[in-house]
Structure 1
Amino acid sequence: MSLVSLQNVNGSWALNAALAALLGLTEAEARGKMPAQVSLGTWATVLAVLWLHARAAGQRDEWELLEAKAQGWLRANVEPQLAECVDAANSLLGCSVSPSLFGL
């Protein structure tokens, strides 16, 4: 899982070309759909977590700790636009992960 090596020590992901490519996007596509007033770290982390749920559900035991760390980071850095972020990420990735995953 290449996504593992891209996660920051604090649990977040950075939006860069490597993450975008792993998600099947270009960095410009990913940045272009990012909701206004959302930090790049929050956007990238939400994208990564949704991708795990939508595309790697069968390997959940391999990424549960990554998700827990990401969720902890998101809780510590909560942004009021998180629900909008989840909706935009679902649309961009073509998935339908429930916002309840993020406690919304």
Structure 2
Amino acid sequence: MIEVSIIDFLSLRMLDTGFEPDICKLEDLGLPSKDDRCTSMFSVTFPTEVQQLAKHFLRDDYVFLAVGTLGGTNEDITQSIEEVPLGQKKIVFFNYSNKI
């Protein structure tokens, strides 16, 4: 028998607000041990808190794959900031989106 349990989305915001102990309690809900299950974790960023969760939930021989520079920024993305009056935000947004 194969049983599939999926936790679709775990927000890093939950870690920021002190929910890490509660997240770790998920195993108490009847999950098989980490050696008896297949667990995958994906993160755009990999802060220390996520690394600790990985150590807690994943097998000791888990595979870590990083694309690009860990903790770095993508050089192909340019960030710009434009101050816009409150009443003009939608107009400016739509003007930018029409340029794409």
Task: Report which of the two structures shows the higher radius of gyration computed on alpha carbons.
Answer: 2
Comparing both chains, which one has the higher relative contact order based on Cα–Cα distances under 8 Å and sequence gaps of 6 or more? 1
**What is the TM-score of this pair, normalised by structure 2?**
0.34
**What is the TM-score of this pair, normalised by structure 1?**
0.33
Task: Name the one with the larger helix percent.
Answer: 1
